[in-house]
Amino acid sequence: MDAFFSVFQLNVLIPWLLAMVLGIFVGGIPGLTATMAVALIVPLTYHMQPVAGLAMIIGVSFTSIFAGDIPATFLRVPGTPASGAAVLDGYQMNLKGQGSLAVTLDLICSTIGGTIGILMLILVAPTLSRFALKFTHFEYFWLGVLGLSMSAIISKGSRLKGSISMIIGVLISTIGIDVTTGYPRFAKGNIQLMGGIEFIPIMIGLFGISEVFRSIYTMQNMKVPVFNEEIKVSFKSLGKILNRNKRLIAQSSVIGTLIGALPGAGADIAAWVSYGLAKRTSKKPDDFGNGSEEGVIAPTSANNAAIGGTWIPALVFGIPGDTITAIVLGAMMMYGLKPGPLVFEGERFLVNQIFSVGLVSQVFLLVLGYLGIKSFSLIFKFPRNVILAGIMIFSMVGSYAIRNNIFDVGVVLVFGIVGFAMERAAMPLAPLILGRILGPMIEENLRIGLIKTSGSFAAFLNRPISFTLFLILVVMFLWDPIKKIVVTARARAKKQ
């Protein structure tokens, strides 16, 4: 309990809260990521006590990942990569006049997801870490393929078009220097292309700028505010929604934590996989993509839960789960701490402080997140034409800021046009993003796995976890035909 109360000292509390407020703005501005905020914060923590620095980092992670869902819901521009999946139904809810409900649902689910992630970190960190470390190239390959298979599920409309969009996304991920051989692929001597095409500008272009183009193209409702509702929280209706989706919240939070615990797979992959699984297990899968509350609940619970997950391998083994925990590990060493199994023995008090910070951050997230929604909703009361101009300039500067590279602004434009054209041809956009995110993971693990086995694919199937992942994949593909057969057989039996 001492550890719990110690985090409420003013010299911890004040920087922690300030960092969380910063996180709201970082998450809400496209192009600024939680990693950038953490990188900005770390130098400020040199002279602080370790718990204050770690509280700032944990706090900013939670608020920025949540706040990324705010522009995703109101403007169809994901504030952070982890909010890509939240765009799909959040924005549709906003178009239906349920934007207020969508963001408050986001906030509550982010808080619940974050709490479950931290509780799992507290309760099962060593067990989960041991499990996560059993993942080798073979398992990561299947995990990536499993993630890709979600594209068929998340596609609105034709699955064939969804698969095409996904393969194009994976192909885009092969542009640039090949990590295995160092050969520059499809670069044609262009230094910018050698560095590959970042997925954040692709995402901003496909979702955000294509939407700007669509609005400019129609030039309708230009003087009307983007968001004209009052942010109201009806605890009764929220309670009802949460109650009927409690299984989904738990499912998405657990999946989010598990995926977060896998080094290299972060909150963005967690959100997409949870969204796909939610659609797969939903009684109303056709509502997904049309403003389904389940489509909002699943990714927003998972992306915040993944934050707790990323801390599991970081604390237990000193292996970063994502870019943020990679910076955290560096910071911990700077504080004179050695992350790894011994940290639970030698630094038990600090570990308990970290757990306390994680849990208390959820309460702060609820309050600050609500204030963040209120503030952003005021900005979105400006007429659409003003907001459109703002989205354009923020998207451009935000994309530039990722690598200080004007090439990325060009990527935003190209994918804005591609997204606009794809939507006119009823091609789903989300699988392209998923393909771009998962492509490198699949390629790298497939090739290294094959090199290890001298070209034999057997090792991808004869290991327990990889075989289980393969089986899940098969079941997912056969789910619909089997369901159809069962339904037809039942109907026949009833008739007879």
Partner 1 sequence: MKKTFNQEHIIGIICISIGTVVLSLTRSFPGGTGAINISGPAFFPNILSMILIGLGVLQILNGIFGKEEDIASAAAIWKGMKSAEFVNLLIMTALFIFFILAVEFLGFITTSAIFLAAVNWRLGIRLVRNLIYTAVFIIIIYLVFSIIFKVTLPRGIIF
Per CB under 8 A, residues contacting partner 1 are: 25, 29, 32, 36, 40, 158, 160-161, 163-164, 167-168, 170-171, 174, 178, 180-181, 183, 185-186, 212-213, 216-219, 222-223, 385-386, 388-390, 392-394, 396-397, 400-401, 404, 406, 409-410, 413, 416-417, 420-421, 424-427, 443, 446-447, 450-451, 455
CB of 475 to partner 1, least distance (A): 22
- Give the Cβ contact number of residue 480 at 10 Å: 14
Q: Any idea of the CA torsion for 194, 196, 198, 203, to the nearest 10 degrees?
A: 130
| Identity of the residue, 156 or 447, whose beta carbon is nearer to partner 1 in the bound complex | 447
| Identity of the residue, 108 or 388, whose beta carbon is nearer to partner 1 in the bound complex | 388
| Identity of the residue, 1 or 219, whose beta carbon is nearer to partner 1 in the bound complex | 219
CB of 131 to partner 1, least distance (A): 28
CA distances from 100 to 65, 124, 228, 301 (A): 18, 35, 10, 17
Report the distance separating Cα 431 and Cα 440, nearest Å: 15
| Identity of the residue, 168 or 359, whose beta carbon is nearer to partner 1 in the bound complex | 168
> Which stretch of DSSP H or E encloses residue 423?
helix 407-424
| Identity of the residue, 144 or 339, whose beta carbon is nearer to partner 1 in the bound complex | 144
Tokens 């630094």 belong to residue: 347
CB of 404 to partner 1, least distance (A): 6
Report the distance separating Cα 293 and Cα 414, nearest Å: 32
**Three-state DSSP class for residue 79:** coil
Single-letter amino acid, residue 140 = Y
| Identity of the residue, 374 or 424, whose beta carbon is nearer to partner 1 in the bound complex | 424
CB of 274 to partner 1, least distance (A): 26
- Of 264, 356, 347, 259, which Cα lies nearest the Cα of 59? 356
Which residues partner with 383 through β-bridges? 225
CB of 45 to partner 1, least distance (A): 16
Which residues partner with 176 through β-bridges? 185
CB of 258 to partner 1, least distance (A): 27
**Percentage helix, strand, coil for the chain under 3-state DSSP, each rounded to 5:** 75, 0, 20
Report the distance separating Cα 38 and Cα 43, nearest Å: 9
| Identity of the residue, 142 or 355, whose beta carbon is nearer to partner 1 in the bound complex | 142
CA distances from 133 to 129, 136, 215, 262 (A): 6, 8, 47, 8
CB of 495 to partner 1, least distance (A): 27
| Identity of the residue, 370 or 400, whose beta carbon is nearer to partner 1 in the bound complex | 400
| Identity of the residue, 367 or 406, whose beta carbon is nearer to partner 1 in the bound complex | 406
Structure tokens at 488: 């037809």
CB of 63 to partner 1, least distance (A): 16
Report the distance separating Cα 107 and Cα 301, nearest Å: 9
CB of 224 to partner 1, least distance (A): 12
Structure tokens at 1: 């309990």
**Beta-strand pair 176-177/184-185:** antiparallel
CB of 421 to partner 1, least distance (A): 8
| Identity of the residue, 342 or 406, whose beta carbon is nearer to partner 1 in the bound complex | 406
Cβ(247)–Cβ(298) below 8 Å: no
Tokens 């907001």 belong to residue: 387
Q: What's 207's DSSP letter?
A: I
CB of 411 to partner 1, least distance (A): 10
Report the distance separating Cα 409 and Cα 198, nearest Å: 11
| Identity of the residue, 355 or 394, whose beta carbon is nearer to partner 1 in the bound complex | 394
CB of 464 to partner 1, least distance (A): 24
| Identity of the residue, 256 or 449, whose beta carbon is nearer to partner 1 in the bound complex | 449
Report the distance separating Cα 117 and Cα 301, nearest Å: 9
> Which stretch of DSSP H or E encloses residue 184?
strand 184-185
Cβ(238)–Cβ(105) below 8 Å: yes
| Identity of the residue, 206 or 258, whose beta carbon is nearer to partner 1 in the bound complex | 206
Contacts of 94 (CB under 8 A, 6+ apart): 73, 74, 102, 227
CB of 408 to partner 1, least distance (A): 10
Task: Outline where 262-406 has alpha helix (H).
Answer: 267-281, 293-317, 323-334, 343-346, 348-379, 384-403
